[in-house]
Amino acid sequence: MNAKTKIASSDDLKNLIRDVPDFPKKGIIFKDITPILKDPDALRYAVNELSILLEEFQPDQIVGIESRGFIFSPILAYKLRAGFIPVRKKGKLPAETIRTSYQLEYGESELEIHQDAILKGMKVAVVDDLLATGGTSKAAIHLVEKLGGQVAAVAFLVELTFLKGREKLRGYNIFSLVQY
Amino acid sequence: MNAKTKIASSDDLKNLIRDVPDFPKKGIIFKDITPILKDPDALRYAVNELSILLEEFQPDQIVGIESRGFIFSPILAYKLRAGFIPVRKKGKLPAETIRTSYQLEYGESELEIHQDAILKGMKVAVVDDLLATGGTSKAAIHLVEKLGGQVAAVAFLVELTFLKGREKLRGYNIFSLVQY
């Protein structure tokens, strides 16, 4: 009983994304992707397009960043017959981790990855829902490389081009399906 | 270059789960599923088995609970051609939500769902990685039902039977792949 939308292009995805003004705080227009997620055809289209972009790299592992980054990365791991590696906020992963800190708009935060998550030389794709300033992705890339992994590609559903995150990720293969 | 393990049963999945003592606090033995997630064959096996359990219910939507609950639920949404609905901690979802509180071991927490996430009469499956006391799942079920959704099934990768979460979820179709 889901609504039937016809999804045949990235513009159709873009049309589903909802602007939420003043979230998470005054003056920010939040790009809400949940209308894509709840639409089976749109979810399917987005996953298939991201999969096409990544498959040529034959990643061994797909890295996803807590929490919204956990949505597309496990599906792509399944679809590309890769494994899924969670990168989480400090204190959430149970076994031995390595850690990196990164800048937020105000202050700093820390991300962790399990020490045994990635073997030296493994090909890794980092997947997240949104490329904004690139700080979080850069931190995840740093963790993968510290473990000896090779970041073959970084893919996003949505890219906010005006925040120039792509510049911070220069030298990597960067992909996004929907741009603002 | 991933390790080749032969995964042909739930026992093979169970053998991959790692006990982490004293996490998140002294005296708790944490069941770490990340060795399953990073093993492409194990991830695939787990998803396929969960999918077989859920497909007869033909769910319109798969609900996942932040954060670890976001891992299997989006894959199952993709595989079963359903949508994916996130249930998140208070303040994380951008649009209009409804909210419910639930008991933690010490104190209370709150979960939210978007008000427009589920249409009246939709068939919903709730998927999480772990059934412990059942409090979180019960809260998610409550949110779905408040929106008029029909909870057709609730599925978990791991069930800690000694915590009797199944009793709290009596009356629902409950499934788990690995039991302790």
C-alpha A17, offset from chain centre: 16
Q: Among the residues of chain B, which ranges form H helices?
A: 10-16, 34-37, 40-55, 69-79, 135-146, 165-168
pLDDT, chain A, mean? 96
Interface of A with B in 76-135 (CB under 8 A): 77-79, 81-86, 88, 91-95, 114, 117, 119, 121-123
CATH says A58-179 is which class? alpha beta
Gap between the Cα atoms of A58 and A69, Å rounded: 20
| Domain-wise residue ranges, chain A | 58-179
In the block, residue with structure tokens 């059934």 = B131
Judge whether A74 is closer than 8 Å to chain B, CB to CB: yes
pLDDT of residue A2: 81
In eight-state DSSP terms, residue B9 is S
| pLDDT at residue number B78 | 98
Q: What average pLDDT does range B100-118 have in this prediction? A: 91
Contact between A76 and A47 under an 8 Å Cβ cutoff? The reply is yes
pLDDT for A112: 98
Please give the structure tokens belonging to residue B161.
Answer: 């039977």
Give the DSSP H or E segment for B103: strand B97-103
**Nearest alpha carbon to residue B90 among A95, A177, A24:** A24
Confidence of residue A33 (pLDDT cuts 50, 70, 90): very high
| Nearest CA distance, B71 vs chain A (angstrom) | 6
Q: What count of CB pairs under 8 Å joins A to B?
A: 135
The answer to whether the CB atoms of B1 and A71 lie below 8 A apart is: no
Dihedral, CA of residue B86, residue B92, residue B97 and residue B99, to nearest 10:
90
pLDDT at A106: 74
CA distance A129 to B172: 33
The residue among A51, A44, A75, A9 whose CA lies nearest residue A153 is A51
Mean pLDDT of B113-127: 98
Q: Is B75 on the interface with A (CB under 8 A)?
A: yes
pLDDT of res. B107: 80
Q: Binning pLDDT at 50, 70 and 90, where does residue A102 land?
A: very high
- Distance CA(A72)–CA(A69), nearest Å, equals 6
Six-digit token pair at B11? 């026992």
Q: Across the strands, what pairs with B131?
A: B159
- The share of chain B scoring above pLDDT 90, in percent, equals 93
Q: Is the pLDDT of residue A83 over 90?
A: yes
pLDDT at A116: 97
Q: Hey, what amino acid is at B38? A: K
- pLDDT tens-digit series, residues B132-160: 999 999 999 999 999 999 999 999 999 99
Nearest to A68 by CA among A17, A21, A39, A34: A34
The pLDDT of residue A46 = 98
Say whether pLDDT at A149 is over 80: yes
pLDDT average, residue stretch A91-103: 96
Query: Across the interface, which of A38, A71, A83 has its CB nearest the CB of B70?
Result: A71
pLDDT over 80 at A105, yes or no: no
Closest CA to A84 of A93, A75, A92: A75
Let me know if B82 is exposed, middle or buried by CB neighbors in 10 A (0-12, 13-18, 19+): buried
Q: How confident is the model at residue B6 (pLDDT cuts 50, 70, 90)?
A: confident
Q: What is the mean pLDDT of residues B32-61?
A: 98
